[in-house]
């Protein structure tokens, strides 16, 4: 029986989210609290776990395992489900279990064949609705019968026309940050880890896959069983259903995709197995058995999502030349930083994304060499600089204060690129070998735990800082994590592959060479993007047009290059690109690619009218998160 072990793991996890009492922690908490104290809304009662984005009461009653029985109803766009929640009373006197929900219809809750009393609280716009369940005196499982709403924030339902194969409908979930509660009533906090099992019933011929053990050659009979034996936070529970096929890429790696995309995806991502091996050689054994990819329809709102054992991936990175596979390195790296060691609250997201971005650079360097790493690091630094110029001081803090705010607001380059640069700084301080050893031990020390920024700081103080007292400066580290902007003398990366581009761009802008004379040779995506990003505001329409005639940029197939070009086209009101722009906005739902375009269009009346037309056409195929993130630009 695995329950005693589970109990041990989960209680330990819960302790891991208590505020620490050591000196650095006190300082960091005080600094974060001071930042925006007046913003505190409904936070006081959630003090225990310090997770301001969950109503749950794990400090009293802790859910440890989910057994999910779910029927996928494509006609009604609903999941009909029973969530059997296994719990432990941490406080023996507790009588109520509180879980998070959002727009769920709860029909009944049972335990030991008896109906239980329950109440659904008033909904909160950001957090959803607390579900209070009166527990029986005896027992350890409650069964919640419920269905989801057709516009659940964490579920997207697609018609056959909105998929690649056009033959079957498609469904996928996206739980991070706090959307698991829109399809499972659960303690939806990253500080709470659970194991799960699931039975998923689908129309026959469709395949269901989950962030769990998947059997690549399971019979396609419409009933699928899953287990996730390792405790994971709720934001990593994921389900997809569609006309999916599997192709192996290596011994432990493979790809699920709709048939028209399967071969191209397997080819594009064929280095995944090598990435997996390189990463585990450096940072410790891969803990999750298999690592597969699932290619989603183009409406997937993110580039990728690190659902354990099965990363969800946008099809927009299948460029044909592996130029965008850093995304795969990134989602894979989360298997260590994020899925094995997890942020305890959304304030600590940088522990997930900063470490993962740092690891991504290291993996890319190991697999594709230093030149590629350098180019990617320069582009990453540009992204960071842009956010540092535009974000408020509070939002430039890695350990961001999110009280009273939507957890999705933490999505910027700060937790990613600033986080990675901080780790690069530490690496350069103690040397690569010592830093790699530190990371290896860190991933091991906190494996299957959820930790806060404060715990990380305490750990750092006891390890690297104690080992290298003359080199590691805790004050500088606190500046990185708790202050806006960057400390002095941050690591600088340069790329030779970019220097000749600067020179040629300059020559072109000054009229010394014609567009057609720019020696693009076999410029990669990175070089094109660098070239285009560096074009100044003073660029004329004639110059744009010359570049377009010479290099056919309006029709470029790489979605990232197209994005940069289209952004420029909007700024310059370069009409020849508007048809492509329209097709781009209506064909892709990845928020990072479309949002800056809508934002730029919204700056002029004409642009706004155009944006409105595209948005209206695209809306039925956009994910709820993409709709939410862009609707203000068109209203």
* Chain positions contacting Zn ion, by CB under 5 A: 353, 356
Residues 326-345 that bind ligand BES (CB under 6 A): 326-327, 330-331, 334
224 is known as an active-site residue? no
Stretch that binds ligand BES, among 223-231, 297-305, 452-460, 500-508 (CB under 6 A): 297-305
Helices (H), 391-495: 413, 419-430, 432-445, 453-462, 464-467, 474-482
361 is known as an active-site residue? no
Stretch that binds ligand BES, among 73-81, 254-262, 325-333, 436-444 (CB under 6 A): 325-333
> Among Zn ion, ligand BES, none, what binds residue 592 when CB lies within 5 to 8 Å by partner kind?
ligand BES
**Using rule CB under 6 A, residue 17 touches ligand BES:** no
100, 258, 353, 458: residue in contact with ligand BES (rule CB under 6 A) = 353
Residue 338: left (phi > 0), alpha (psi -120 to 50), or beta?
A: left
Q: How far apart are CA 235 and CA 238, in angstroms?
A: 8
Q: Whole-number minimum distance, CB 356 to Zn ion, in Å?
A: 5
Q: How far apart are CA 330 and CA 324, in angstroms?
A: 11
Q: Helix (H, G, I), strand (E, B), or coil: what is residue 309?
A: coil
Residue 45, Cα to own-chain centre: how many angstroms? 28
Mask 409-448, x = binds ligand BES (CB under 6 A)?
--x----x--------------------------------
**Using rule CB under 6 A, residue 181 touches ligand BES:** no
Mask 538-577, x = binds ligand BES (CB under 6 A)?
----------------------------------------
Torsion angles phi and psi, residue 278, rounded to 5 = -60, -40
**Using rule CB under 6 A, residue 592 touches ligand BES:** yes
Reported as half-sphere exposure (CB side, CA atoms, 13 A), residue 343 has a value of: 25
By beta-carbon proximity to Zn ion, the closer residue of 339 and 356 is: 356
Strand-pair category, 253-257 with 291-295: parallel
By beta-carbon proximity to Zn ion, the closer residue of 353 and 376 is: 353
Q: How far apart are CA 458 and CA 25, in angstroms?
A: 7
Q: Which residue is catalytic, options 416, 525, 530, 574?
A: 416
**Using rule CB under 6 A, residue 190 touches ligand BES:** no
**Angle between helical axes of 525-533 and 496-509 (0-180°, round to 10):** 40
Stretch that binds ligand BES, among 76-84, 156-164, 212-220, 299-307 (CB under 6 A): 299-307
By beta-carbon proximity to ligand BES, the closer residue of 78 and 347 is: 347
By beta-carbon proximity to ligand BES, the closer residue of 147 and 412 is: 412
Q: Whole-number minimum distance, CB 379 to Zn ion, in Å?
A: 16
Q: Helix (H, G, I), strand (E, B), or coil: what is residue 46?
A: helix
Residues 148-177 that bind ligand BES (CB under 6 A): 176-177
Strand-pair category, 291-295 with 310-313: parallel
CA distances from residue 195 to 56, 236, 511, 515 in whole angstroms, order as listed: 17, 11, 63, 58
**Using rule CB under 6 A, residue 398 touches ligand BES:** no
Fill in the DSSP letter of residue 557. Answer: -
Q: How far apart are CA 457 and CA 29, in angstroms?
A: 11
Are the beta carbons of 532 and 565 closer than 8 angstroms?
yes
* Burial of 143 per CB tally in 10 Å (0-12, 13-18, 19+): middle
Q: Whole-number minimum distance, CB 341 to ligand BES, in Å?
A: 14
| Angle ∠(417,422,424) on CA atoms, nearest 5 | 95
By beta-carbon proximity to ligand BES, the closer residue of 332 and 568 is: 332
| Angle ∠(156,159,165) on CA atoms, nearest 5 | 110
By beta-carbon proximity to ligand BES, the closer residue of 589 and 621 is: 589
**Using rule CB under 6 A, residue 351 touches ligand BES:** no
**Which parts of this chain interact with ligand BES (CB under 6 A)?**
176-177, 302-306, 326-327, 330-331, 334, 353, 411, 416, 592
Active site residues: 331, 416
């Amino acid at each position: 029986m695995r329950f005693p072990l589970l109990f041990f793991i989960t209680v330990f996890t819960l302790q891991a989210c208590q505020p620490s009492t050591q000196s650095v922690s006190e300082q960091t908490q005080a600094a974060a609290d001071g930042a925006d104290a007046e913003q505190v809304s409904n936070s006081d009662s959630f003090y225990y776990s310090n997770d301001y984005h969950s109503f749950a009461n794990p400090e009293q009653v802790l859910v440890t395992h989910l057994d999910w029985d779910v029927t996928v109803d494509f006609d009604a766009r609903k999941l009909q489900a029973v969530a059997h929640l296994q719990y432990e009373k941490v406080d023996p006197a507790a009588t109520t279990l509180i879980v998070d929900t959002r727009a769920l219809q709860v029909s009944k809750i049972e335990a030991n064949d008896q109906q239980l009393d329950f109440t659904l609280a008033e909904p909160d716009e950001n957090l959803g609705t607390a579900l209070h369940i009166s527990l029986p005196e005896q027992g350890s499982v409650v069964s919640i019968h419920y269905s989801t709403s057709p516009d659940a924030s964490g579920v997207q339902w697609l018609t056959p026309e909105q998929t690649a194969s056009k033959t079957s409908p498609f469904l996928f979930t996206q739980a991070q940050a706090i959307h698991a509660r829109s399809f499972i009533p659960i303690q939806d906090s990253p500080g709470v880890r659970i194991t799960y099992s699931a039975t998923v019933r689908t129309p026959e011929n469709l395949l269901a896959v989950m962030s769990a053990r998947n059997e690549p050659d399971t019979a396609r009979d419409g009933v699928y069983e899953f287990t996730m034996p390792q405790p994971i936070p709720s934001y990593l529970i994921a389900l997809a259903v569609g006309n999916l096929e599997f192709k192996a890429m290596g011994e432990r790696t493979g790809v699920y995709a709709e048939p028209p995309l399967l071969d191209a995806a397997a080819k594009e991502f064929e280095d995944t197995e090598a990435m997996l091996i390189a990463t585990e050689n450096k940072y410790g054994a891969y803990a999750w058995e298999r690592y597969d990819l699932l290619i989603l329809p183009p409406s997937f709102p993110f580039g990728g999502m690190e659902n354990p054992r099965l990363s969800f991936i946008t099809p927009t990175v299948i460029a044909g030349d592996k130029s965008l596979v850093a995304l795969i390195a990134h989602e894979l790296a989360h298997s260590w930083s994020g899925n094995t060691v997890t942020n305890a609250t959304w304030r600590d997201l940088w522990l997930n994304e900063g470490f993962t971005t740092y690891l991504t650079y290291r993996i890319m360097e190991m697999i594709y060499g230093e030149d590629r790493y350098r180019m990617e690091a320069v582009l990453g630094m540009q992204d960071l600089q842009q956010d540092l110029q535009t974000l408020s001081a509070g939002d430039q803090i890695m350990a961001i204060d999110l009280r009273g705010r939507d957890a999705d607001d933490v999505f910027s380059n700060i937790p990613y690129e600033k986080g990675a640069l901080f780790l690069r700084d530490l690496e350069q301080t103690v040397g690569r070998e010592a830093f790699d050893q530190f990371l290896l031990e860190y991933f091991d020390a906190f494996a299957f735990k959820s930790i806060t920024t404060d715990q990380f700081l305490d750990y750092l103080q006891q390890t690297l800082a104690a080992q290298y007292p003359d080199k590691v400066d805790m004050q500088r580290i606190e500046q990185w994590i708790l202050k806006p902007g960057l400390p002095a003398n941050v690591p600088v990366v340069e790329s030779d592959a970019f220097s000749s581009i600067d020179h040629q761009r300059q020559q072109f802008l000054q009229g010394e060479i014609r567009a057609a004379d720019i020696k693009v040779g076999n410029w990669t995506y990175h070089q094109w993007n660098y070239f285009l990003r560096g074009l100044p505001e003073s660029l004329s329409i004639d110059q744009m047009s010359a570049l377009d005639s010479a290099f056919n940029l309006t029709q470029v197939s790489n979605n990232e290059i197209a994005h940069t070009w289209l952004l420029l086209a909007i700024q310059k009101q370069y009409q020849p690109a508007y048809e492509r722009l329209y097709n781009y906005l209506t064909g892709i739902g990845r928020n990072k690619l479309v949002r800056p375009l809508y934002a730029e269009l919204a700056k002029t009346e004409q642009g706004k009218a155009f944006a409105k037309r595209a948005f209206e056409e695209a809306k039925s195929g956009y994910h709820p998160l993409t709709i939410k993130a862009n609707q203000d630009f068109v209203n």
